A and B are shown apart, each in its own frame.
Chain A
């Protein structure tokens, strides 16, 4: 059974710093890996999707990398801002399945200190 782990569970950094969030998964046979953002009382917002054949994806100040063989992904946030404060979740799905088989981690709660 696929297990997704995110460490640390919570992280606080001063505004302007660059930071890295970590995600690891036990079964390297994945189809996609996605990073989501969740704000309190709100749903999930998809940030980046990396297909298993890709090594990284970039969107603005966000860069996500994928090392499938080692079962790891990182989300890099450059020049952090208070508005980046949220819980960040990663999720993977197995080959031949789509969004219906997403396995999520428990998330990293990020606080950017002004």
Chain B
């Protein structure tokens, strides 16, 4: 595609529910990143994929968060037992490799009520 696409754009869920956020990276980009941006803050790193494998998941806040990229393209960020504190904009980015320009998607705004 022309850019990084994230779906849905907005997601409202009830506390305790499970959610999945999807990221379609730019075709051919082997590196993919998830960041989380809380209101009034800069984005914070969650997880980095190189190909199909999670090369660095040190930013995931706890074991309720999990992400996959089974075929080295689309990635899904999964959040179990959502909490109100999980409310944020979740940003996905991709790049040819980790040292070249990263292209960000428009983000998914998650609201936990």
Contacts and interface: CB of A to CB of B under 8 A. Distances in A.
Contacts of A36: 104
B98 A44 contact: no
Contacts of B93: 43-44, 99
Interface of B: 4, 6, 31, 33, 35, 40-45, 48, 55-56, 91, 93, 95, 97-99, 101-107, 109
Interface of A: 4, 32, 36, 41-46, 49, 89, 91, 97-107
B55 A46 contact: no
Contact of B105 (A4, A43, A103, A104): A43
A101 B99 CA distance: 11
A89 B109 CA distance: 19
Contacts of B98: 97-100
B44 A104 contact: yes
